[in-house]
Amino acid sequence: MCAPNKKHITYVSLPPSLTGSRRLSFYLAMEEYVAQNMMQLEGCFFLWQVNPTVIIGRNQVMENEVNLPYCREHGIDIVRRKSGGGGVYADKDNVMFSFICSRSHYATTPEVFSLCLQRVIEMLSTMGVEACSTDHNDVLINGRKVSGWAVYQLQECIIVHGTMLYDTNMGHMLSSITPPTEKLQRKGVESVRQRICLLKDFIGDRISIEEFKAYARDFFCGEKEYMLTQNDVARIEELSGEYEM
């Protein structure tokens, strides 16, 4: 089974008049809506950015993983996704990726997940950045995490989504998520900061975040695009209520 590529993947975009700032719950609902209604396209992809938000996995205990007082004080939103994995911080200075693939065109869920990560690594390689994946669903550069990924199956579709730390508010990232001490000890590090890196540190001033988004879109989709209608957006907004906390 071939990896998702330009031949198969359509970029899903919002109408220009409806591209204002939205809560992260909207984009999670957008994944689900695309999976439920657009799989005649075989595979879909989109990029998104949000105001400061912590996204926790479906099985996480929020009070154990999130610094709630800090998030309240700094206006950081909290949303629960339907995939597993750990807590993730997102803001306007990093980029979120969403792949939605039909089971009828691709392989099993683990295979699709692995293929998507491999394509991300290939994209970084074409930018002159050597990366690798881990058994913990991360993408590393020089042994440090630059991207984290998760997957879940919805009906006959597979949704793979992840982060790309182009840049970020490091203070918010380190203070809003509170991983258990034993988790840090198990990974053999003294702090979260020692485990992560930023893509901008490896591509310098060569590529802005907007140029990076355009590059990623072209790498995965080329010119294939489906623009959501106003009716699509209204239905996604209604669905997004299921992700609110």
Domain-by-domain residue ranges, the chain? 9-240
Q: What is the pLDDT of residues 116-145, one digit of tens each?
A: 999 999 999 999 999 999 887 899 999 999
| 107: confidence class by pLDDT, cuts 50, 70, 90 | low
Amino acid at 93: D
Answer with the residue of higher pLDDT: 105 or 28: 28
Distance CA 58, CA 81 (A): 6
Candidate from 15-29, 73-87, 179-193 with smallest mean pLDDT: 179-193
Strand stretches in 76-119, DSSP E: 77-80, 88-90, 95-102
* The predicted structure's pLDDT at residue 155: 76
Tell me which CATH homologous superfamily contains domain 9-240. Bira Bifunctional Protein; Domain 2 (3.30.930.10)
pLDDT above 50 (res 101)? yes
β partners of residue 97: 47, 162
**Does residue 14 come out as left (phi exceeding 0), alpha (psi in the -120 to 50 range) or beta?**
beta
pLDDT above 80 (res 149)? yes
Distance CA 62, CA 178 (A): 10
Query: If you average pLDDT over residues 53-57, what whole number do you get?
Result: 91
* The predicted structure's pLDDT at residue 188: 41
Answer with the residue of higher pLDDT: 166 or 17: 166
pLDDT above 60 (res 100)? yes
How crowded is the C-beta side of 39, counted as CA atoms within 13 Å?
18
**If we measure between CA atoms, which residue out of 124, 67, 66 comes closest to residue 95?**
124
CB 168 within 8 A of CB 89: yes
- Torsion angle in degrees (nearest 10) through CA of 49, 116, 223, 233: -40
Q: DSSP 3-state assignment of 215?
A: helix
Close Cβ partners of 15 (under 8 Å, ≥ 6 residues apart): 227, 228, 229, 230, 233
pLDDT above 50 (res 177)? yes
What phi, psi does 148 have (nearest 5°)? Answer: -120, 145
